[in-house]
Structure 1
Amino acid sequence: MLHLSAASQGRALQLRRRTWLTMAAASLLASCSSSSPEKFQATFLQPWQSHETLPLVEWRRRLKLMHDMGCSEIILQWSATYDGSFPWTMPDALIQLLFDEGAHQGIGIRVGLPYDEGWWNALRSDNAQSLPDFLASTQARCVKTLEESRWPAQAGFRGWYLPYELDQYNWATPERRALLLPWLNAIAAASSKSSTQPLALSTFYSTLPTAGTLAGLWTDILDRVTLRPMLQDGVGVAGLGNYAGLEPLRVLLLNRGIAFDLIVELFEQLPPLPNTNGAFRARPASSDRIRTQMSIARNYGADRIVAFAIDPWMLKKS
């Protein structure tokens, strides 16, 4: 969420290989300043190996910025990545630092489970056994993490996040959903043993043509599994019109009384540069666009408005 949504699904793998420490425009910070009604309740944080080198004073600056923008929770996108070009496990000391320093700002931590970078390849594979094998292996790793983790004992622990995003394109068929639902149920059941909060995961409206619908997918899911859906607004890639694709799912969740979050994307995708194999490029969104998103978000019916992401898109160097 990973988190980023919309048509370019392989973008997730490209993002893993990029360090996003970029300075957001001062106008963005002004649009969500402490005196502004444009507030978030939570923000994602995609941990990278480069975060290991940040000094404590810089972590404190970033956490204060998140607090000043209204956040009482950080959602770690993952605690480890594997089966990619640059596998990495977030050091326990760094996670502990976030718990400790976040507590000083009144910020809790929702911990992301390990992320297998083969997710999108497994979904695209022509090998009929690739996806079942992938789901079996990721389920086993997630359950093992849930059973062995020490983070639920932390006072600021806010639950678990499953870092695999769901769209209506890849899960359109009954055969695919027959694989998905037991996988989700097993991980959600394991998470409930250490958290009273439902397992959270992101969902997005894919612009790829398909007979599947997002509301139909989530009707099947919610009939079987207790989860906390997080709706990506998709504006960073597909524009403000992407809210129309989410509308049937929003109505479904409101009608069923399901608590959900709305993820507001704070970036704007740029065309790839020549000879870069389509590598993802983005810049901070304009303050006008964010104000429009937040105007929608305040009346959306979501339990919380979640930023994607204050770090890096709203960082401002001192």
Structure 2
Amino acid sequence: MRTVKAFAPATVANVSCGFDILGFAIEGMGDTVQLIENNSQELRVVSITGDGGRLPLDAAKNTCSVAIQALLDELGIRLGLDIHLEKGLPLGSGMGSSAASAVAALVAVNELLENPLEKKDLLPFAILAEKVACGAGHADNVAPSLLGGFVLIRDYHPLDVIKLPVPSELHCVLLHPHYELRTEDSRSVLRDQIPLKYSTIQSGNVGGLVSGLFLSDYGLISRSLRDVIAEPYRAVLIPGFYEVREAIKSAGSLGMGISGSGPTLFSLCQGESSIPGIISAARKVYESMGLGVDAYHSAINTRGAFVIE
């Protein structure tokens, strides 16, 4: 029986001002999916590790099988597969956990089928799986997990995704407090209407951030990492948000925001020298609150998802 294994990385979505339209991929952390062909002509989620028993084995509800089935349906193929998912990302963390699972599954099945689709053409099936997982089919996690780097989703109808340049010294620190925040709760606090002045500010910051990436202008990137639409409402749901942001500013942070829907926070920085100071300053804040925190750091992952074997 044929078998293949693929890996898809963690991601940061929104990137402050880029609500639902910007995301980037992280090195090292992610999910792994192994597919083993079977004779049943059905998809079976056989095992999931690293989730504490919380994710569904039901093929109609699991993001891996949903994504694979959508691809097979599009190609008019019936195929029996046993799916083994290794979760390397915590659930409800804001690091694109469901996205990484779906993307790894799609890259694996595409390889098993001898790559009938280009990598970028797998994206609609990953978006569909995201909708099943969290009720909203956004691409700002799945697109960077699949393609790597910084990604801009210019439009969804039709889907228009652009990979942006990544300055060579750009690094990221992720701070994951030991606190779970459901995506549904994080989205429920958002407002349906946005005052014109805030829309104008946000548009300027998105343009500034994209320009900063093209120009490798770290000062411009720093000035543009400001969200006036979602962050003011979501920050109150995340313990220590404002205290951490203030503490890491003097340690070399270019700016801090909420990764996806939280509670993970991200900070961009120039080079690696400021990373220890950023992590130390953040830990002190969380320790004072009696809250544990996991800290990660990474260059921007420009590779995206890939086949392991």
Q: More strand per residue: 1 or 2?
A: 2
TM-score, normalisation: structure 1:
0.29
TM-score, normalisation: structure 2:
0.30
